[in-house]
Amino acid sequence: MSSMKTLYTLCAALALVGAPLSCASSRDPNGDLDSGVQVQRDAAVVIDGAVAGDSGQPLDAAVATPDAMADAAVVGPCPGTAAAVINEVNTNIPNGRDLVELRVTAAGLLTGMRLVNGNASSTLVNIPAICAAAGDLVVLHLSPIGSNGNSIASETTSKTQYPMATSTANHDSAWDVNQDVTATGIAFTDTVLLLRRADTTLMDVAILSNVDGTSSATYISAVESAQAASGWLPASCATTQCQDVAADFSTVSDLVTGTSIQRTGATDTNMKTDWTVKAQTWGAAN
Ligand SMILES: [Ca+2]
Ligand SMILES: [Ca+2]
Ligand SMILES: [Ca+2]
Ligand SMILES: [Ca+2]
């Protein structure tokens, strides 16, 4: 291929993918591709290897690349592999409007993380595409409705995307995420909460009990599964009801503004001693 033909092919390909056209000689005074290039434009279904550097590469593939780059430019980079822990819980709020706060322990994109009800192995909330920094808090709102002050959607662009001024259930100091599956709260009883990564591997566990002397078979099974997965200690229960290994949250309030069960510090030892019931700190450090 002659160098001029190569230039025409390059210019035609650039025009087709919408790239800024610096090939002044390829346009006539009206700004249209001249006939010489038009032939190449029609013929160049496959970009010439000398131009594309990938002999035989379909033009569609070349078109897709700038689109993907444009999308990446809009979203922006979000480096790191995110990690988080369950940080605060209240499953005693009426009408299933329970709250769970996550604390991000490693920065990155939270997409695909999910809160799971271990008793039922059911997903409660899928975390959306939040680019989080280490230390960020994410408040998960179960059974969200507008009349309760919930925002119309989850926050993904900033912690104040749906500010408290207009969405009174939200927190301007945290990412507010609405339950995205069928609205359902978490029964205020013995509960195993799991935080899973996008690939479903286990990231964190909270084992909570009302310590009323009895536990369901599904709860005991969920506790034992978490222990077997090295998510909780001790690694086995000393009593048949598994109350002995659980954090006691029997006294939490039934008010959003009341008490909740919270981690006491930054260190995660996977034990009930990480947790205590105290005045709520939704969207704020415990
Ligand atoms: Ca917020
Ligand atoms: Ca843990
Ligand atoms: Ca119980
Ligand atoms: Ca908190």
pLDDT tens digits, one per residue of 69-122: 444 434 568 999 999 999 999 999 999 999 999 999 999 999 999 999 999 999
Domain 83-279: which CATH class?
A: mainly beta
Say how far apart CA 34 and CA 194 lie, in whole Å. 63
User: Edge to edge, what strands does the sheet with 137-141 contain?
Assistant: 175-178, 137-141, 99-106, 83-90, 259-263, 275-279
Q: What is the rounded (10 degree) CA torsion for 21, 22, 23, 25?
A: 110
Nearest residue to 85 (alpha-carbon basis) of 177, 195, 242: 195
Q: What is the pLDDT of residue 77?
A: 86
Q: What are the beta bridge partners of residue 177? A: 140
Ligand nearest to the CA of 219: 3
pTM: 0.75
Query: What is the rounded CA–CA span in Å between residue 165 and residue 90?
Result: 23
Q: What is the reported pLDDT for 107?
A: 97
250 token code pair: 């029997």
HSE-up of residue 129 (Cα within 13 Å, Cβ side): 6
Ligand (nearest to CA of 195): 2
Residues whose CB is less than 8 angstroms from the CB of residue 138 and which lie 6 or more positions away in sequence, other chains included: 84, 101, 102, 103, 104, 110, 127, 130, 132, 174, 175, 176, 177
Residues of the chain with pLDDT under 70: 1-76
Measured from the alpha carbon of residue 210, the closest ligand is 3
**Which residue shows structure tokens 């975390």?**
127
- Exposure class string for 197-232: b at 16+ Cβ within 10 A, else e: beeeebbbbbbbbbbeeebeeebbebbbbbbeeebb
From the CA of 272, how far away is ligand 3's center (Å)? Answer: 15
Answer whether 206's CB lies under 8 Å from 247's CB.
Answer: yes
Q: Give the ligand with the smallest distance to the CA of 138.
A: 1
**pLDDT value of position 76:** 64
Dist. CA 119 → ligand 3 center (Å):
13
Cα(232) to ligand 4 centroid in Å equals 21
Share of the chain above pLDDT 70, in %: 73
What residues are neighbours of ligand 1 (ion), with CB under 5 Å?
159, 170-171, 176
As residues whose CB is below 5 A from the ion ligand 2, the structure lists 204, 268, 270
CA distance linking residue 14 with residue 63, whole number of Å:
9
CA–centroid distance, 212 to ligand 3, in Å, is 5
Which residue ranges make up each domain of the chain? 3-75, 83-279
